[in-house]
């Protein structure tokens, strides 16, 4: 049963709360914190996938509801302070809106240095956080300063890395590779490798050969699932010229409203099969009841013969 923070958090009444570690059965796992899409849904938070390695967390996207989902883990509360890095695939609101709350509570519960990665614009996102909420954050720091609280984790100690896709780098013990993918916002997919295992998080993407290459031989692919199959056609956008210039995407790293926003389920299956992925976890699901058996059968029928899991909020999958 999920643990309430009421017994942990004593606002203004003492030192920062001690959040106990969350028990994990394996050294490397993936938690599908938020598995919904932009449509409001009481059953699913918006996009957030968290990799766990030896008790540290590497969070990909922080959509609305992600913070509350972290409080409702099946074995307790995921300790915010142990978030070592945040990686954004793109800047649609359903992938970013809980950044401010999670970063604040990570800091207030003892989190220090952190790395924040994302496409061009991630530095501006963090600057907005610390500028717009400056007095709020300083007030919270003042309340806790007698317990040793300083600005490390929000004002200082935050390493920002802007990427365009194609870069490789390390996050602690994890080796990370990236690829630019196809979406209506500038979008980057991530591959994380450690101990001979590989996990790929696609973010939102249409069919893209670059995702096949990024996912080659991966043990686990957390894939954007548009939950449409059987030849269903996707919504066709009007011509971008119908928008006044001021409403069109701005700059080389803005949106691209001319492409399909998501892959169909058949396309997800085709990409996973071509890449030789062992296990696909379907996320970014639409609201309402999900026919898991039908989704799994559709992926199999489309040519993927590996393991298929339909994600739910709080699901932990061993790698």
Residues 187-216: tens digit of each pLDDT: 999 999 999 999 999 999 999 999 999 999
* 39 falls within a domain: yes
Query: HSE (CB half, 13 Å, CA atoms) of 32?
Result: 28
Average pLDDT over residues 97-109: 96
Rounded to whole angstroms, the Cα distance separating 290 from 39 reads 14
Rounded to whole angstroms, the Cα distance separating 121 from 202 reads 19
* 199 falls within a domain: yes
CB–CB of 44/313 below 8 Å?
yes
Provide the number of structural domains found in the chain. 1
* 97 falls within a domain: yes
* 33 falls within a domain: yes
Helices 292-301 and 265-275 pack at an angle, to 10 degrees, of: 50
Average pLDDT over residues 47-55: 98
Give the CATH number of the domain where residue 273 resides: 3.60.15.10
- Of residues 57 and 74, more confidently modeled: 57
Q: What is the DSSP letter of 262?
A: S
Residues 13-49: tens digit of each pLDDT: 566 667 789 999 999 999 999 999 988 888 899 999 9
Predicted local confidence at residue 120, as pLDDT: 97
Q: 131: which 2 tokens? A: 């500028």
Query: HSE (CB half, 13 Å, CA atoms) of 231?
Result: 0
* 3 falls within a domain: no
- Of residues 73 and 288, more confidently modeled: 73
pLDDT band at 1 (very low <50, low <70, confident <90, very high): very low
Rounded to the nearest 10°, the torsion over CA 259, 264, 269, 270 is -50
* 224 falls within a domain: yes
Give the angle subtended at the CA of 177 by the CAs of 194 and 63, to the nearest 5°.
95
Residues 270-303: tens digit of each pLDDT: 999 999 999 999 999 987 678 888 888 888 898 9
Predicted local confidence at residue 288, as pLDDT: 67
**DSSP letters for 36-87:** --SS--TT--SSEEEEEETTEEEEE---TTHHHHHTTBTTB---GGGEEEEE
Average pLDDT over residues 53-80: 95
Other CB atoms within 10 Å distance of the CB of residue 230: 11
* 96 falls within a domain: yes
* 126 falls within a domain: yes
Burial (Cβ within 10 Å: 0-12, 13-18, ≥19) of residue 136:
exposed
User: Is pLDDT at 229 greater than 50 in this prediction?
Assistant: no
Domain that holds residue 72: 25-318
CB–CB of 32/281 below 8 Å?
yes
Query: HSE (CB half, 13 Å, CA atoms) of 38?
Result: 7
Burial (Cβ within 10 Å: 0-12, 13-18, ≥19) of residue 159:
exposed
pTM over 0.85: yes
Q: 206: which 2 tokens? A: 């249409």
């Amino acid at each position: 049963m999920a643990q309430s923070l009421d017994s942990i958090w004593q606002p203004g009444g003492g030192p920062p709360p001690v959040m106990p570690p969350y028990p994990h059965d394996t050294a490397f796992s993936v938690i599908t914190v938020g598995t919904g899409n932009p449509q409001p849904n009481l059953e699913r938070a918006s996009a957030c996938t968290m990799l766990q390695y030896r008790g540290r967390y590497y969070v990909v996207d922080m959509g609305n509801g992600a913070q509350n989902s972290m409080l409702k883990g099946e074995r307790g509360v995921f300790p915010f302070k142990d978030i070592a890095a945040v990686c954004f695939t793109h800047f649609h609101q359903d992938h970013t809106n809980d950044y401010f709350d999670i970063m604040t509570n990570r800091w207030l519960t003892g989190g220090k240095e952190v790395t924040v990665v994302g496409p061009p614009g991630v530095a501006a996102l963090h600057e907005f956080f610390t500028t717009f909420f400056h007095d709020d954050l300083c007030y919270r720091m003042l309340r806790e300063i007698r317990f040793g609280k300083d600005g490390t984790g929000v004002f200082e100690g935050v390493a920002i890395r802007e990427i365009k896709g194609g870069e490789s780098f390390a996050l602690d013990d994890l080796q990370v590779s990236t690829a630019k993918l196809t979406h209506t916002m500038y979008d980057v997919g991530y591959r994380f490798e450690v101990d001979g295992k590989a996990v790929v998080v696609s973010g939102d993407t249409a069919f893209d050969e670059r995702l096949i290459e990024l996912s080659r031989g991966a043990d686990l692919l957390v894939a954007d699932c548009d939950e449409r199959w059987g030849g269903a056609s996707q919504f066709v956008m009007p011509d971008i010229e119908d928008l006044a210039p001021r409403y069109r995407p701005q700059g080389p790293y803005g949106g691209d409203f001319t492409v399909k926003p998501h892959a169909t389920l058949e396309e997800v299956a085709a990409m996973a099969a071509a890449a030789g992925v062992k296990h696909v976890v379907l996320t970014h699901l639409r609201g309402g009841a999900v026919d898991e058996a039908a989704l799994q059968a559709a992926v199999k029928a489309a040519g993927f013969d590996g393991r298929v899991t339909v994600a739910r909020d709080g699901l932990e999958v061993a790698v």
